Amino acid sequence: MTMPLMRPKKKNPVLRTRQMNLPPWARGRVALGITAAAAEGRFELQECEECGTVQYPPREACHKCLSAALRWREQSGEGNLLATTTLHHSNDMYFRERLPWRLGLVHLDAGPTLMVHMHGEVGDAPSRVKVGARLDRAGQAVLIGFPNEGSAHMADDKMLREMTSDPKFRKVLVTDGKTEVGQALVRALVKAGADIVWVGHAEPWKKTGGLEDITALPQVTLVPLDLTNGRSVTELAGEIGGKVDIVINNAEVHRTFGIGARRGTDVAKAEMDINYFGLLRLAQEFGPALKGRSADGETGATAWVNLLSVYALSNFPAHGTFSASKAAAHSLAQCLRAEMRPAGIRVINVFPGPIDDEWNQHVPPPKLLSGTLANAIVKALRDGVEDVYPGDVAQEWLERWRDNPKVLERELAAGGS
C-alpha cells in the first residue's frame, strides 16, 4: 500500500539549484503514436486490419502477416505480470538520481508482452495488472503497470508523482479569480491539497461576487495581476515567480459576433490583448522561473495550464473573433510547450466547449458547468496529460474535426454547432 505523501521540506536556499536531467526521449515517428494517445490519457497499440494482431513495439508493418494496414486502437491494458526486477544501478543520469526503480514484464490479454515501469502497489509475480500509458518528464509515452485495485493514496506513489503534476502540496497561480471558472478552480485546487493558491485580480476596486468566499480559505492569497499590463506581470513574477509550481492561465475576454456584425476592431483587440498577448506576457515572465526550478524534486515546478476553447480548432462564426484569438493562443501554447519540454515542465491545453456563463446565453445546452471544468483541469494535472476536451460538445467537435475539418467548417458556417 502506498504511504500518504508527507508535506515536502522547504528547499535549503544555500544548496545549489539542481539542473533537469530528462529520461531518454528519442522515439521513431511510428512510436509517437503511443505518445499522441497518452497525451490525451489513452493507452493505444497498433492493430492489424488484415489479421487482427495487436503488436508492440510499433512497426511499419504487421509482424505476423506483413500488412501495412495498421490502425491505432485503445487497449484495456489487462494482463498477467510474469516477472519483476528492481534496478539499483543505471548509467542514465535521470534514473541514476531516482534509484531504486522497479520494472516488470507483462503479457497482455491482447497478445503482446511488454516491459513496463511498476507502480509501488503491484505485488510480486504472478499477478494480474493493468497497463496504462503516461507521459514522462520528457513528454514521451511510457508504460506503467498498475494494480487492478489500488488504495486511496495511489497518486502519491513516488514514481507516478514523478510523471504527473498532482497539485497536492504544490503552489499554484490562478491568473483570474473574478470569474466563476476561476473561483471553481481555486476551490478544486484547495480540495486537491494545494499548499498555496495565488489568485490574480486585475481590478481590485470592483466588487466581484464570490471573491470573498475563496479569499476566506487559508490557502488562498489575492495578488494584483493584469495581463494587459506588462509591468503588472513583471512585478508579480519578481515577487512569487521563484515559488510557483503550477501556473493556470484562465484569464480571457469572450465576446460574441464575428466580423460584419460589429464596427471597428476595439473588441477584437481586447480579446487578443488578453487571450493571446496576455499569455505571451505571462510566459515571458513566469516561464524562465518555472524552467529554473523544474529539478527541485518534490518542491520543484511542474506544469503550466492554458484555458483555451474548442473553438480554436475550427472557427465558430457566432463567436468569430473570440475563436480567432483562441486559435492564436493555441498556436502560441504549442510553442510554449516545445520551449518548456527540455526543462520537464508539462504544458496542458484545455479545450472546453461552451461554458454556462453570460457569453453563451444563446448557445443551446449542453453547456459545461464551471465546477465540472475545474475538476477536469485538476484531473488533467493528476493524470499528467497534455490535451483535454471536457464536456460532450468538445468531445463531439473533436471527433468531427478529426474526421473531416472541412466538413466541420461547412457545418458551422451553416449555423450548426
182 neighbors 18 (Cβ within 8 angstroms): no
Q: What is the pLDDT of residue 291?
A: 93
| Element counts in the chain: helices (H) and strands (E) | 12, 15
280-301 pLDDT per residue, tens: 999 999 999 999 988 887 778 8
Q: What is the pLDDT of residue 150?
A: 79
First to last CA, the chain: 47
Given pLDDT bands bounded at 50, 70 and 90, which one contains residue 212? confident
Residue 57 above 90 pLDDT?
A: yes
Please give the Cα distance from 211 to 201 (Å, whole number): 10
For 304-330, letters b (16+ CB in 10 Å) and e give bbbbbbbbbbbbbbbbbbbbbbbbbbb
Q: What is the pLDDT of residue 224?
A: 95
Residue 26 above 90 pLDDT?
A: no
Q: What is the pLDDT of residue 417?
A: 62
Given pLDDT bands bounded at 50, 70 and 90, which one contains residue 16? low
Q: What is the pLDDT of residue 300?
A: 83
368-403 pLDDT per residue, tens: 999 999 999 999 999 999 999 999 999 999 999 999
Amino acid letter, residue 110:
A
- SS3 state of residue 171: strand
345 neighbors 336 (Cβ within 8 angstroms): no
Alpha-carbon 185 to chain mean position: 14
Is the pTM value of this prediction over 0.75?
yes
Any idea which residue has 472546453 for its cell?
352
Please give the Cα distance from 73 to 34 (Å, whole number): 10
Q: What is the pLDDT of residue 262?
A: 82
Q: What is the mean pLDDT of residues 149-175?
A: 89
Domain spans of the chain, in order of start: 32-162, 171-413
Q: What is the pLDDT of residue 260?
A: 86
Q: What is the pLDDT of residue 1?
A: 57
- The alpha carbon dihedral of 105, 107, 108, 111 has a sign of positive
Cβ neighbours of residue 66 closer than 8 Å, sequence gap 6 or more:
none
Any idea which residue has 510566459 for its cell?
283
168-198 pLDDT per residue, tens: 999 999 999 999 999 999 999 999 999 999 9
- The CATH code of the domain at 171-413 is 3.40.50.720
Please give the Cα distance from 170 to 80 (Å, whole number): 36
114-151 pLDDT per residue, tens: 999 999 999 999 999 999 999 999 999 999 999 988 78
Residue 156 above 70 pLDDT?
A: yes
Q: What is the mean pLDDT of residues 14-29?
A: 81
When mean pLDDT is compared across 62-66, 165-169, 256-260, the lowest value belongs to 256-260
Given pLDDT bands bounded at 50, 70 and 90, which one contains residue 6? low
343-373 pLDDT per residue, tens: 999 999 999 999 998 888 888 889 999 999 9
Q: What is the mean pLDDT of residues 248-268?
A: 91
Q: What is the pLDDT of residue 3?
A: 62
| Of residues 90, 105, 119, the one with CA closest to residue 23 | 90
101-124 pLDDT per residue, tens: 999 999 999 999 999 999 999 999
Percent of residues, the chain, with pLDDT higher than 70: 95
Residue 337 above 80 pLDDT?
A: yes
Q: What is the pLDDT of residue 40?
A: 95
Please give the Cα distance from 386 to 17 (Å, whole number): 27
Given pLDDT bands bounded at 50, 70 and 90, which one contains residue 238? very high
Any idea which residue has 500500500 for its cell?
1
